[in-house]
Chain A
Amino acid sequence: MAASSGVYEVPDGSPEPVPDLPSFDFATMGQGGVPLVIDNGSDRCRAGWATEQDPRMEFESLAARYRNRKLSADPILLVGSSVHSDPMAKSSIRRAFDGGVVTNFDAMESILDYIFTVLGCVDERVDQPIVMTETVCTPYTSRRNMSELLFECYNVPSVTYGIDSVWSYYKNTGSFATDGLVVASGATASHIIPIYDARAHTEHCKRINLGGASMDEFLLKLLQLKYSAFPMKITEWQARDLVQRFTYVAEDYEKELSCYLAAENLASKDVTVQFQFPIPTLDERSEEEIQRVTDRRREQMKKMHEMAARKRQEKLEQRVQELEELTAVRASRDEMDADSFAQKLRDLGFRSERELLEAIASAQQVVDRAQSKELGLEPEEKEPPTFPLADMPDEELTSEQRQEKRKQVLLRAGHEARERARVEREKEKARQDEERQQDDERRMNHFDEWLADLKARRNETIARIEDRRAHHRELNDRRSHASQVRMRNIADLAASETAAPGGKRRRRSVDDDDFGAEDDDWNVYRDINKKEEAEVDEEDELELDKFNRQLSLYAPDYLEALDRVVRAEIENTTMYRFTDGCQQAILEKPAAPQKLDNAAIVAGVAREYQLHLNIERIRVPEIIFRPGLVGLDQAGLLETIDGVLRQAGSRPSLINNVFVTGGGFPQVPGILGRLERDIRSIAPAGAPIAVRRAADPLRDAWRGAALWSTREVDAFRASRITRQDYLEQGGEYLREHGASNRYSAIARRESPAPP
């Protein structure tokens, strides 16, 4: 099984381009008509000389032809992984293949150019017999175009076509004499081919249109849906990497699936995938430094206070001086005659002596207030102001006094109101003090009782908040009970409002329905108000905060226990385990106060860039056994194998040699065990079953073709399609051999001329 648990850091970006291979000397390597073997796979292409152990070249079947004026005036043609080296090439990348079949022969031509160039071909023609793989049941059109390209463009002497997976079988079995069942899977399609009577029976072959690329695609879609708010774009290449690393075939899908998210399995099966994330900027200062900064700030505050006090003092002195001057003017009245005093007053800007007196009084007041404030005294209520005229009957007063009385009445009302408010405030303060004292006392003497009470009150507050939220949620649904009650209330209110002014038709009961007699009646307005009442909510939140603070002070374990319970509740849900694995849940509003250190902050950000693979690990490869999972209306692998076995005459020798090869599903761990188990379920009791994988599922097709063309000399010679064959029989012509497709001239004759 693939590595599980722990954090896997997914590589960033696209694959590194592999530099071009150095050129080889075609002249020495290709002497004496050594066949040039090309395993033309839809994902990767391999090419080399038949006499050698391994292919000389192996590259991605990609070609890009485009222009980039910055790099070159000529068009640029890149083949293989090097297409990833220039971002400008991205939109021009072409595949020669469509679902395992070569359809784009411009791209194919580029790929062949690349092969012949790198292998060092310098003659006017490619003077080597070509051995090339093709897919099972290749459409005639595709082969016709391929032959045309090889014979007309490269002028090859001959070509032999064969099926890649059957050659892989040859490499691993040594001959076609042994019967067997080839289960081959490439990037886009999977085939089941029976081999008996020393050849591949493609007439009984079946193809499921799923391959390795289907898994990548499926996983990518799954992850995009599972983490729709993921802060990064998951690339196809990353999806492919994850498929190759972490998927495996479940031996018993149903059974494994049903307990996949169970607590005891999750830790070992869940994989955390970490994407690269930006490191948050952190406060790296130590405690001491922070302390120093706060100290400095406090010092500054103190200085500013002192300065303000000094300013106030200066102002006060100025005021006192002014007051003294004014008093001096007043005193000088007795020493002057009336005229010169009046003149002096006018010079100072007063119109009469009275104004001067008023100015003195107000200045005195200002100074007094400032002085008492400076000394920290409450502005003492000197003597309560008297309102002598307010209660006198009007008849006893002169008109002037009456005016004065009106003024006094107003002043008295204001004074009394202030007085009442003050008393009220004091009472409230006393009550709060007393409450606090009682609370403290209760806490001291009956701690348990006090705590229980606090908890209860906290729960009540939470319940209130929850209720309001639930109500609000319900209001969003037009058909909910809450919404309907609200509509009814609105209708009732509207009806009574319109009925009232009408006058004539209103009934007495409507006229006087006691609405408002009780305070709760007014709640109806609150109910019909759809908006959440922010201030009420806030009040409760504040209260909750207060409770939490007290609890964390006197019973810290309690809140932590509460958080633990909530966390456990979240962690136990299927959905949480599905998306977050077995990590500790992060609470939106933890009851216990939390302090985040730097490590926790980094971990928090890292977590946003994480995703978890669990069920996907078996769900993704399962598509080959249940194509319905991706909506493909084809039978699964086992059912198809069953059908092929029946078609091939239910030979017991086939299931005794099931051969798995190719770059798609055969790469997934566990596939052999699953296949064996599944085949056993359809095989006759006691029948010998053997399932094996190619020694190298990727390269054995090329090696098999090379081996076959050098070892089976007669068969190889007979299988060559020569230039003459091509000219006489047409492009789709095929000479059959053990590893080839079937050819029927009837089909050829009736097929239309090439377009």
Chain B
Amino acid sequence: MPVNKRGRKSRPGSAVDTPVSQEPREGEPLASFKTAGITNLFGVAKPFKNSEYKSGRRWRNLKQVVAQEQASSDWPVDFPTYWAADAPPSLVPQKKYCDITGLPAPYTDPKTSVRYHSAEVYRILRLLPPGSEQQYLALRNASVALK
């Protein structure tokens, strides 16, 4: 409908042209929402969309997308792919920090492999309910999950 389209374009700043006011019934703000004035986008007319377009796909997460892309083709050596941009592991020795307080940790508990700052923190560590040391280890991705 090119005539209609051109006609609309020639009317400057006409508020009636907005889809919301075109479809007052469907585009009504949802009154019982916490804040008034929120529109249900579903009911608003969207003339700009191709009504025949349907993706209808199941979307894979990033890990799956990257794995598939990486496996399915030969990528040039120097080409900046998503996986090539990943920062490499560190080559410098890592400082150790107390899992409980975050202070520098000169000690590691041989029983739970939790790192700790001082004898005082160790006393707290001993009082922890069993299993919660795993939560501390999980902070730095070092927990042991028993399945």
Contacts and interface: CB of A to CB of B under 8 A. Distances in A.
Interface string B64-84: 011011001111101111101
Contacts of A741: 80
Given A78-B38, A85-B35, A203-B78, A103 B65 contact: yes
Nearest to A14: B34
A228 B15 CA distance: 55
Contacts of B82: 101, 137-139
B50 A258 contact: no
B69 A137 contact: no
A628 B69 CA distance: 28
B46 A101 contact: no
Interface residues of B, number: 86
A634 B75 contact: no
Given A17-B38, A103-B60, A747 B53 contact: no
Nearest to B137: A631
A78 B48 contact: no
B1 to A, nearest CB: 8
A99 B53 CA distance: 27
A409 interface: no
A643 B49 contact: no
Contact of A628 (B5, B40, B136, B140): B140
Contacts of A138: 82
Given A153-B53, A626-B95, A643-B88, A631 B30 contact: no
Given A19-B36, A139-B66, A634-B89, A105 B84 contact: no
Contact of B65 (A25, A70, A101, A117): A101
Contact of B120 (A76, A137, A573, A632): A573
A17 to B, nearest CB: 5
Contacts of B92: 639
Contacts of B97: 257, 619, 629
Interface string B1-42: 100010011011111011110100010011011111111111
For the residues of A in contact with B, the DSSP-based class is mixed
Contacts of A575: 101, 120-121, 124
Given A154-B50, A742-B79, A633 B69 contact: no
B103 A257 contact: yes
Contacts of A136: 80, 85
Nearest to B78: A203
Contacts, number: 266
A208 B62 CA distance: 15
A633 B75 contact: no
A719 to B, nearest CB: 18
A636 B79 contact: no
A103 B41 contact: no
A752 B87 contact: no
Contacts of B132: 225, 228
Interface stretch (A106-114, A232-240, A341-349, A723-731): A106-114
A77 B42 contact: yes
A616 B135 CA distance: 17
Interface in A619-661: 619, 626-636, 639-640, 643
A126 interface: yes
A25 B17 contact: yes
A734 to B, nearest CB: 12
B72 A137 contact: no
Interface residues of A, number: 106
A74 B43 contact: yes
A139 B42 contact: no
A27 B60 contact: no
Contacts of B42: 65, 74-77
Interface in A96-153: 98-99, 101, 103-106, 109-110, 113-114, 116-117, 120-126, 136-142, 145, 148-149, 152-153
Nearest to B31: A71
A228 B131 CA distance: 13
Contact of B12 (A27, A633, A640): A27
A252 to B, nearest CB: 13
For the residues of B in contact with A, the DSSP-based class is loop
A445 interface: no
A725 B117 CA distance: 61
Contact of A77 (B40, B68, B95, B103): B40
B32 A744 contact: no
Given A77-B41, A254-B104, A744 B79 contact: yes
A28 interface: yes
B139 interface: yes
A257 B89 CA distance: 24
Contacts of A27: 8-9, 11-12, 14, 17
A751 interface: yes
Interface string B118-129: 101100100000
A326 B30 CA distance: 96
A222 interface: yes
B5 A117 contact: no
A209 interface: yes
B76 A746 contact: yes
Contacts of A221: 138-139
Nearest to A636: B90
Nearest to B88: A635
Contact of B20 (A23, A82, A208): A23
A639 B90 contact: yes
Contacts of B19: 23, 117, 120, 122
Contact of A123 (B15, B47, B69, B88): B47
Given A103-B59, A109-B55, A634-B87, A742 B34 contact: no
A225 B53 CA distance: 49
A541 B136 CA distance: 38
Nearest to B123: A575
A498 interface: no
A751 B15 CA distance: 48
Interface string A49-80: 00000000000000001000011101111110
A284 interface: no
Contacts of B35: 16-19, 82, 85
A120 B48 CA distance: 10
Contacts of B78: 203
Contacts of A626: 94-95
Given A208-B87, A575-B120, A72 B30 contact: yes
10 contacts: A74-B43, A78-B38, A98-B62, A121-B48, A123-B48, A139-B81, A206-B88, A225-B100, A574-B120, A750-B75
Given A629-B97, A630-B140, A744-B75, 4 more contacts: A20-B29, A137-B80, A139-B66, A209-B87
Closest 6 CB pairs of A and B: A631-B141, A19-B37, A750-B73, A98-B62, A631-B140, A23-B18
